[in-house]
């Protein structure tokens, strides 16, 4: 099956920042949560939740206020994602991909970089959706670029393109063999409306089943030179990528913490009639301990990143350390939650069972938990840590 390309429409209502972002996020979370089990069971794109959040201005959360958005800080965006994750992991993770690209575009806008303002205005005015393939492309993109008059012809097979059925523009990367500089990575903007872009219907996974993280095939698409956002060294975590990683995983980490929160809350509800049992008390205490420490890791990383990060491998290491802690703690919390709730949590339709599967996706994002240790060790020992 090939999805039809989405269209954009001018939003009828001006976007106003809510007085209380947490309460607003809770309202959005309840909308997403109402359909979470159905989309998980069907493995279907969370289209109704997405449309509802989009109509409420959610896509412009990270757009600066002077450009028509809500002007949320990175910590605020991460907080909203955590609340969404408590209700629907798929909605939170899919939306994180748009939010982190938008937040990085806002970073580019603050530096007067080409195309940033126009993109952000379109997010606010039209509700366009920015899709990232960076997690799978990273330093070694899946695809190639060939220089032609006025720009490049690009082809490749992209994977893990979350929210691709609703995508407007794909923020992606292609390898380019420059005759003078050697192998490079070009960051490009590719419109989903191009006839050479095909979204495949092949997302059928254990968890995060509603994210529609389908493969996207790009065949001989022309990209004008002005849509080349960066020309970077191949295989290297260079300064721009350091900023991207610091922003992206600050946002994504919030979504996974929310999934772990949901499992813990459901487990506590399930054992309310056994609250006096010391064994239950210890297990609940362990869940709370793991969540608290993971939250501290996330908060510490957000503090290291700040509202307007500079390129820094130390900051990348801090964010990756937090991601590792959240992944490991989140899996442990969901395991304990299932043990506490017992057999009922093993059935399909249980929020604990869904969280148990969803949280495991956290280990697959780069850097993986093991790669994070290797990277941190190299950094501390003064060894090269920018090559991946």
| pTM (whole model) above 0.85 | yes
Percent of the chain with pLDDT over 90: 94
Report yes or no: 295 and 257 within 8 Å, Cβ to Cβ: yes
What residue ranges do the domains of the chain occupy? 21-129, 134-233, 239-380
Q: How many angstroms separate the CA atoms of 170 and 179, rounded?
A: 27
Kindly give the interhelix angle for 313-341 and 239-270, rounded to the nearest 10 degrees. 20
Percent of the chain with pLDDT over 70: 96
pLDDT at 4: 35
Instruction: Dump the DSSP string for 153-219.
Output: EEEEEEEEETTGGG-SEEEEEEEEEETTTEEEEEEEEEETTSTTEEEB-----SS-TTS--EEEEEE
Question: Rg (Cα) of the chain, in Å, rounded?
Answer: 21
pLDDT at 248: 98
pLDDT at 138: 85
pLDDT digits (tens, 9 = 90+) for 308-358: 999 999 999 999 999 999 999 999 999 999 999 999 999 999 999 999 999
CA angle 208, 264, 345 (to 5 degrees): 70
Confidence check: pLDDT of 6 > 60: no
| pLDDT band with cut points at 50, 70 and 90 for residue 9 | very low
CA distances from 124 to 99, 130, 367 (A): 12, 12, 31
Architecture of the domain delimited by 239-380:
Up-down Bundle (1.20)
pLDDT digits (tens, 9 = 90+) for 139-161: 999 999 999 999 999 999 999 99
pLDDT digits (tens, 9 = 90+) for 251-302: 999 999 999 999 999 999 999 999 999 999 999 999 999 999 999 999 999 9
CATH domain 134-233 topology: Butyryl-CoA Dehydrogenase, subunit A; domain 2 (2.40.110)
pLDDT digits (tens, 9 = 90+) for 24-38: 999 999 999 999 999
Coil, strand, or helix at residue 222? strand
CATH domain 21-129 topology: Butyryl-Coa Dehydrogenase, subunit A; domain 1 (1.10.540)
């Amino acid at each position: 099956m090939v999805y039809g390309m989405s269209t954009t429409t001018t939003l009828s209502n001006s976007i106003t920042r809510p007085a209380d972002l947490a309460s607003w996020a809770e309202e959005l979370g309840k909308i997403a949560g109402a359909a979470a089990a159905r989309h998980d069971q069907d493995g279907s794109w969370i289209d109704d939740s997405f449309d509802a959040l989009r109509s409420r201005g959610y896509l412009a959360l990270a757009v600066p206020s002077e450009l028509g958005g809500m002007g949320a800080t990175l910590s605020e965006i991460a907080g909203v994602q955590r609340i969404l994750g408590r209700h629907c992991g798929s909605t939170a993770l899919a939306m994180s991909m748009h939010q982190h690209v938008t937040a990085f575009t806002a970073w580019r806008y603050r530096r007067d970089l080409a195309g940033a303002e126009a993109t952000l205005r379109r997010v606010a005015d039209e509700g366009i959706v920015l899709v990232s393939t960076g997690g799978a492309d990273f330093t070694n993109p899946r695809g190639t670029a060939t220089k032609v008059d006025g720009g490049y012809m690009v082809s490749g097979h992209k994977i893990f393109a979350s929210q691709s059925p609703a995508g407007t523009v794909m923020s992606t990367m292609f390898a380019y063999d420059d005759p003078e500089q050697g192998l490079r990575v070009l960051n490009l903007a590719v419109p989903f409306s191009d006839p050479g872009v095909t979204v495949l219907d092949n997302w059928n996974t254990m968890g995060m089943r509603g994210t529609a993280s389908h493969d996207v095939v790009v065949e001989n698409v022309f990209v004008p030179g002005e849509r080349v956002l960066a020309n970077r060294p191949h295989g290297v975590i260079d300064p721009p990528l350091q900023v991207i990683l610091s922003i992206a995983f600050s946002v994504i980490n919030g979504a996974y913490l929310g999934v772990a929160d949901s499992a813990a809350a459901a487990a506590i509800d399930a054992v309310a009639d056994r609250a006096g049992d010391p064994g239950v008390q210890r297990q609940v205490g362990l869940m709370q301990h793991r969540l608290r420490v993971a939250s501290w890791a996330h908060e510490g990383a957000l503090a290291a990143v700040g509202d307007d990060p500079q390129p820094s491998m130390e900051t990348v290491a801090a964010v990756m350390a937090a991601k590792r802690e959240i992944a490991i703690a989140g899996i442990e919390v969901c395991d304990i939650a299932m043990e506490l709730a017992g057999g009922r949590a093993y059935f399909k339709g249980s929020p604990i069972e869904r969280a148990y599967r969803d949280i495991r996706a956290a280990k697959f994002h780069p850097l993986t938990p093991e790669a994070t240790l290797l990277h941190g060790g190299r950094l501390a020992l003064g060894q090269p840590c920018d090559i991946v």
